[in-house]
Amino acid sequence: IPDNVLQKTKEKGLFGMIIPKEYKGTPFNAHARCKIVEKIGSRSIFLSNTVMVPNSLGPGELLLKYGTEDQKNYFLPKLSTGEFIPCFGLTGIKSGSDAANMEDTGTVIKRDGKLFIELNCNKRYITLAPISNLVGLAFKLKDPNNLLNDASTNTNIDQSDLGITLALVEPDKTGNLNNNK
C-alpha cells in the first residue's frame, strides 16, 4: 500500500469505524462497515484487509468493552486516527488461533513497588504486523503471589484461573518489545 493511500485512509477515519465520536472515531454500524470494506476491496484487497482488521477484531473492540477510562482515553483516539495501527498476537506456534489451548503465559510480578506482567510468549503476529506500532498480546494470566488482590479493592479474585487476557504493548523507537513497561 503506498504511503499516500495509507495516509488518506487515516485522514478519512477508516481505522475508527467501530469507535465512538467521543474518541475521535467515525462510527458506522456493521452493515455500513461491510459495504465500505467491500467497496475498498473492489479496488485493493490489501487495503480492504488493512481497514477491516482494526474494525473487526483486536484492541479497539476489546478496549470499548473491557478497558478502563484511562485506557480508552489514551488508546482509542490514536487507534481512530491511525496513529496506532494494531496487530493482534493471538496465534500461537503450537495452538494456532485456539486461544483455549495457548501455552503463552503472563505472571504478575512486583518490582520497585509497581506491578508488572512478565510475559512468556511465542507468537505469530497476524495481519498488519509489518506496519503495526501497537501489539496486542493474548496470554493466560497467572498471579501466584496474589498481588492483584493486594492492589485491588476486590478481594474475591480467584488467583488459580485468571483466564485469558490481552496486553497492549507499544514497541520502543527501535521496535524492541523487551524493554517496554
In whole angstroms, give the CA distance from residue 98 to residue 53: 18
Contact 87/49 with Cβ under 8 angstroms? no
Instruction: Give me the chain's average pLDDT, please.
Output: 87
- For residue 82, give the 3-state DSSP assignment: coil
**Predicted confidence (pLDDT) per residue in 110-143, tens digit:** 999 999 999 998 887 777 888 889 988 889 999 9
Checking if the pLDDT of 153 tops 90, the result is no
Q: Which cell goes with 107?
A: 505472571
Checking if the pLDDT of 171 tops 80, the result is no
At 180 the pLDDT is 45
What residue spans of the chain are helical by DSSP H? 3-11, 30-41, 45-52, 59-66, 69-80, 147-151
- For residue 77, give the 3-state DSSP assignment: helix
- pLDDT > 90 in the chain, percent: 54
Whether this prediction's pTM lies above 0.95 is answered by no
